[in-house]
A and B are shown apart, each in its own frame.
Chain A
Amino acid sequence: GENVEQHPSTLSVQEGDSAVIKCTYSDSASNYFPWYKQELGKRPQLIIDIRSNVGEKKDQRIAVTLNKTAKHFSLHITETQPEDSAVYFCAALSGAGSYQLTFGKGTKLSVIP
C-alpha cells in the first residue's frame, strides 16, 4: 500500500518568513495530493491540492509543487501570518480507482509574531 512520509514534524518561523513542508510517497500510481490544515480543536480542511499531471499550483500565499519522478511534493507558504499557525497534513490518493487517502503524520507550524 501507499506510505507517506512528512517532514518536519514541527516548524517555527517568524511572521513574514516562508515555510516549507515536504512529503514523499511510495506508490507511483498515486495521482492526487491534497494538503489539509487543522487548527487546534477543529476539523481538517482542504487548503490546496494538486494532480499528477501538474507540476505546480498556486493560490495566493500558498503553493504546492510535485515531482513525480522523485515521488515527493511540497507545500510552500509565503509571507506567513499568525493565523497560519496550525497542523498541516499532506496526503496521497492511490490510483487505479482507489478512494483511500494516505496521510502523513502532520507538521505543526508555529508563526511567531
Chain B
Amino acid sequence: GAGVSQSPSNKVTEKGKDVELRCDPISGHTALYWYRQSLGQGLEFLIYFQGNSAPDKSGLPSDRFSAERTGGSVSTLTIQRTQQEDSAVYLCASSLASSSRGEQFFGPGTRLTVL
C-alpha cells in the first residue's frame, strides 16, 4: 500500500510569510507525528496527534507554529511569519495506535527554506 506522503517536497519562502505543510499518513494509522530536522541534526519532536486531537504539543518551538488534523487522516503544519531559523526539513510520520510497538513510518519530508 501507499506510504506516508508529504507536500510540497520543497518550499522556498520569504521571511515573514506563512507556510502550510501537508502530511497524508498511511491509511488506518491513527497516530501522526511531526518532526523537524535541521541540517546535520537529529529529529526534533514537534507535535503528536491521536486521531484528530493533539494531546502533546510540547515540542512546538513557538506560537507561530500550529497544526491540525481533520477526519483522522490528513494533517497540516502551519508556520506563521516564518523566520530564517525555521529553515529545515519537516518530517511527518504515522503509526498504528499501539504503544506496545510504536513503529513509526516516515514520509519523505518537506524541505523549507526561508530567505
Binding site for B on A (CB under 8 A): 6, 32, 34, 36, 42-46, 49, 51, 89, 93, 97-106
Main secondary structure of the interface of A (DSSP, over half): strand
In the complex, which of the residues A93, A103, A106 contacts B99, with contact meaning CB atoms closer than 8 Å? A93
B42 touches A104 (CB 8 A): yes
B12-53 CB mask vs A (1 if < 8 Å, else 0) is: 000000000000000000010100000001110100101000
Binding site for A on B (CB under 8 A): 31, 33, 41-43, 45, 48, 50, 56, 91, 95, 97, 99-109
**Nearest Cβ on chain B to A79's Cβ, whole angstroms:** 26
A49 touches B103 (CB 8 A): yes
13 intermolecular pairs with C-beta atoms under 8 Å apart = A32-B102, A34-B104, A43-B108, A43-B109, A46-B104, A49-B103, A89-B42, A93-B102, A99-B99, A100-B56, A101-B102, A103-B43, A105-B41
**Nearest Cβ on chain A to B23's Cβ, whole angstroms:** 12
A103 touches B101 (CB 8 A): no
A103 touches B42 (CB 8 A): yes
A42–B106 CA distance with the chains assembled, in angstroms: 10
Interface centre among B43, B91, B105 (most CB of A within 10 A): B43
A57–B62 CA distance with the chains assembled, in angstroms: 40
Interchain residue pairs A-B with the least CB separation, the first 3: A105-B42, A43-B106, A103-B43
A-B contact count (CB 8 A): 54
B43 touches A44 (CB 8 A): yes
Please name the residue on chain B nearest to A104 by beta carbon: B42
Please name the residue on chain A nearest to B55 by beta carbon: A99
B101 touches A32 (CB 8 A): yes
Please name the residue on chain A nearest to B109 by beta carbon: A43
A100 touches B48 (CB 8 A): yes
A46 touches B56 (CB 8 A): no
B56 touches A32 (CB 8 A): no
A42 touches B45 (CB 8 A): no
